[in-house]
């Protein structure tokens, strides 16, 4: 229903099939196997979780992003996200739905220059489905563009949005 969307921003994902990323399965397994004693202060719990994730998730920025989903509930640390559902539906999550009718409005595809998720091989499908697309890369950013280069990300988004 393109008439419901004034403009669209896609952050570091293209409208094609994404090859399964084996690391995601390992990340989920590491998150599920986390052992944090009840009653720990939040800072100690996050440090312990960070230490336990480090062997599987070597990038500190990615670990910190994952840890934003670790929350305390009644003295216990749990994941805010439904890891079981993500695990069971990872293939669906990694694929873009098939669309035949293009979106006629303005679209911004904002990618990290260090990320493999939008490349020149994706340009024909982006242009087919989003004929008014602008594809931009934020230099030095990986897949978590908004975390890696926050100011540049916000600047690009604000430039794309209409003035208030």
* Sequence ranges of the domains in the chain: 2-16+97-160, 21-91
Residue range 2-16+97-160 forms a domain whose CATH class is: alpha beta
Q: What is the mean pLDDT of residues 112-121?
A: 91
Residue 154 clears pLDDT 80, i.e. is over it = yes
CB atoms within 10 A of CB 152: 18
* 20: confidence class by pLDDT, cuts 50, 70, 90: low
Per-residue model confidence as pLDDT tens digits over 49-99? 999 999 999 989 889 989 999 999 998 999 999 999 999 998 887 777 788
State the residue for tokens 């293209």. 14
Please give the Cα distance from 126 to 122 (Å, whole number): 6
* 156: confidence class by pLDDT, cuts 50, 70, 90: very high
Cβ within 8 Å of residue 1, ≥6 positions away: none
Q: Which backbone phi and psi does 52 adopt, to 5 degrees?
A: -75, -30
């Amino acid at each position: 229903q393109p008439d419901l969307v004034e403009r669209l921003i896609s952050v570091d994902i293209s409208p094609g099939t994404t090859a399964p990323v084996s690391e995601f399965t390992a990340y989920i397994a590491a998150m599920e196997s986390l052992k944090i004693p009840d009653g720990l202060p939040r800072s100690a719990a996050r440090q312990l979780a960070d230490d336990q994730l480090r062997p599987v998730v070597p990038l500190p920025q990615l670990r910190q992003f994952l840890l934003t989903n670790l929350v305390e509930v009644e003295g216990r640390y749990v994941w805010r996200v439904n890891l079981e559902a993500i695990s069971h539906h990872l293939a669906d999550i990694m694929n873009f739905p098939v669309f035949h009718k293009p979106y006629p409005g303005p679209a911004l595809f904002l990618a990290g220059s260090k990320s493999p998720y939008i490349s020149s091989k994706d340009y024909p499908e982006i242009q087919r489905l989003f004929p008014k697309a602008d594809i931009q890369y934020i230099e030095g950013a990986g897949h978590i563009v908004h975390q890696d280069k926050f100011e540049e990300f916000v600047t690009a988004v604000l430039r794309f949005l209409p003035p208030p």
